[in-house]
Amino acid sequence: MDRIRIVGGNPLNGLIPVSGAKNAALPLMIASLLTAETLTLENVPRLADVSQLMRILGNHGVDYRIEGKRIGDAPYAGQTIQFHAADIVDTTAPYELVSRLRASFWVIAPLLARMGEAKVSLPGGCAIGTRPVDLLLMVLEKLGAEIEIDSGYVLAKARRGLRGGEIDFAKVTVGGTHTALMAASLAHGSTLIKNAAREPEVVDLADCLVKMGAKIKGAGTSRIEIEGVGSLQGARHTVLPDRIEAGTYACAVAMTGGDVLLEGATEALLPVALDVLRQTGARIEETPKGLRVSRNGGAINPVDITTAPFPGFPTDLQAQFMALMTRAEGTSRITETIFENRFMHVQELARLGARIRLEGDAAIVEGRPVLKGAPVMATDLRASVSLVIAALAAEGETLVHRVYHLDRGFERLEEKLVACGADVERLREAG
Ligand code: UD1
């Protein structure tokens, strides 16, 4: 298994091109199941989760073609992929495939909407809490589906098609909102979603669906209205930049010091998180090319945060922010409200010398002047990258084991960091 070796202490200086957002690319790819025409997605990141979803879609009958480079493409440009679901040959998403990628459960919505039936394994994905699918199933039931759970599979049927309805989420859910958007777009009649997720990735999916002919109003607010249509057509859409990747590198610079342009990132994608980073002492400016993040010496100020749905502080940046706080001059409190058990990075950060105490859904981080490199283990996607950030600022060498978690969500992580002066190397190993 590959490992990543990091020798800490170098500030980061230079340019990091921000890739297309994994969390937008995945639902957009799934939306290709809604039409018999070609959906072309640009700026798709090269990630293990994207490849895994391509395998899952292929199993349903989706053909895909990756376009080659074009004149003028940046060397790091994302991929352009055409998805074509002319015929859906299989409405079953098997355990072997779905268990490796939680978001693939969302195929249930387009399969049901287009084919009137779907059989999808209950999901797996990151080990961060129980992550139920009750709200996603509620969506499908509100739109007229009959749902049964049998031997680890959800069987959903709507023989005469889905019909519009009112969906009122008891809890804000990104996946639930994606599911509702896709299902309602092909339902008979109108649907109202209340307490919808407002994440930029939801807006990106809605924008693409509108290009495909869907009638959607209000995406980006907590109230979305959808008027179902009989069929959807092909479209071309560019995946929005990855705000979590951008925020991760911003945390890294805030910790190591230096000056980095996060090409393609915008302030609007990370409203609260950037303000928090400013409070820690980082300087962040929006430029026409992206966000410029710098910190030149000076203390890292401790700041308390609480994760919340967009536009609040993203849970997907909680671990990275905790890494930064381990070097703050003082104590900070980090409260996680979205996922239980999302503190698995705590014990690994402690191996680098961090002082963190858990109190229910909060972590109390006592900042220390120095961290020291050590062998650590990646546990989930965001936790792994928090270890990388801490290692970049630690004295000496850190070896991060189980880096396949990183490959699920961070494109060319080592290359991007090395280009900014970090001492990072992937040690490839067979087996
Ligand atoms: C998505 C993101 C993930 C991010 C999360 C929250 C993708 C591929 N993943 O995950 O990176 O951390 O949003 O921003 O986009 N819940 C239920 N029942 C359900 C569904 C969700 O109780 O049926 C709960 C979850 O356990 C969690 C909360 O709702 O406590 C929010 O989860 P949700 O927004 O649905 O997360 P995902 O869409 O799975």
List b or e across 343-374, with b for residues whose CB sees 16 or more CB atoms inside 10 angstroms: bbbbebbebbbbebeeeebbbebebeeebebb
Segment 320-325 mean pLDDT: 98
Segment 154-166 mean pLDDT: 96
Task: Check residue 431 and give its pLDDT.
Answer: 52
Give me 330's structure tokens: 């003082």
Segment 395-408 mean pLDDT: 91
CA 82 to centroid of chain Cα atoms: 21
- Ligand 1 close to Cβ of residue 330 (< 6 A): no
Task: Check residue 126 and give its pLDDT.
Answer: 44
User: pLDDT category, 430, cuts 50, 70, 90?
Assistant: low
The domains found in the chain, sorted by start residue, are 3-19+241-427 (3.65.10.10), 22-238 (3.65.10.10)
Residue nearest to atom 39 of ligand 1 (CA): 175
Segment 292-303 mean pLDDT: 94
Give me 119's structure tokens: 């059989």
| CA 174 to centroid of ligand 1, rounded, Å | 6
Task: Check residue 128 and give its pLDDT.
Answer: 43
- Ligand 1 close to Cβ of residue 316 (< 6 A): yes
| CA 412 to centroid of ligand 1, rounded, Å | 25
Ligand 1, residue 199: give the atom nearest the CA: 14
- Ligand 1 close to Cβ of residue 21 (< 6 A): no
- Ligand 1 close to Cβ of residue 169 (< 6 A): no
pLDDT, the chain, mean: 94
Segment 181-207 mean pLDDT: 98
Tell me: pLDDT of 343 over 80: yes
Tell me: pLDDT of 125 over 60: no
Percent of the chain with pLDDT over 70: 98
Q: Which residues pair with 260 in a beta bridge?
A: 14, 293
- What does the pLDDT look like over 64-84, one tens digit per residue? 999 888 888 877 789 999 999
Segment 145-170 mean pLDDT: 95
Residue nearest to atom 26 of ligand 1 (CA): 131
User: pLDDT category, 338, cuts 50, 70, 90?
Assistant: very high
- What does the pLDDT look like over 9-53, one tens digit per residue? 999 999 999 999 999 999 999 999 999 999 999 999 999 999 999
Task: Check residue 292 and give its pLDDT.
Answer: 98
Rounded-to-integer distance, Cα 93 and Cα 62, Å: 13
Q: Is the pTM of this model over 0.85?
A: yes
DSSP 78: P
Tell me: pLDDT of 130 over 60: no
Mutate to test the pocket of ligand 1, among 173, 269, 339, 386 (most ligand atoms within 8 A of CB): 173
Task: Check residue 239 and give its pLDDT.
Answer: 98
- Ligand 1 close to Cβ of residue 217 (< 6 A): no
Mutate to test the pocket of ligand 1, among 49, 174, 269 (most ligand atoms within 8 A of CB): 174
Indicate which residues carry an active-site annotation.
126
| CA 315 to centroid of ligand 1, rounded, Å | 10
Of residues 234 and 428, which shows the higher confidence score? 234
- Ligand 1 close to Cβ of residue 134 (< 6 A): yes
Tell me: pLDDT of 106 over 90: yes
Angle, CA of 206, 49 and 56, to the nearest 5°: 80
- What does the pLDDT look like over 112-123, one tens digit per residue? 999 999 999 988
Q: Which of 70-84, 274-288, 303-317 has the lowest mean pLDDT?
A: 70-84
CA 100 to centroid of chain Cα atoms: 15
Rounded-to-integer distance, Cα 70 and Cα 232, Å: 28
Ligand 1, residue 178: give the atom nearest the CA: 38
Segment 96-123 mean pLDDT: 94
Residue nearest to atom 17 of ligand 1 (CA): 132
Tell me: pLDDT of 141 over 80: yes
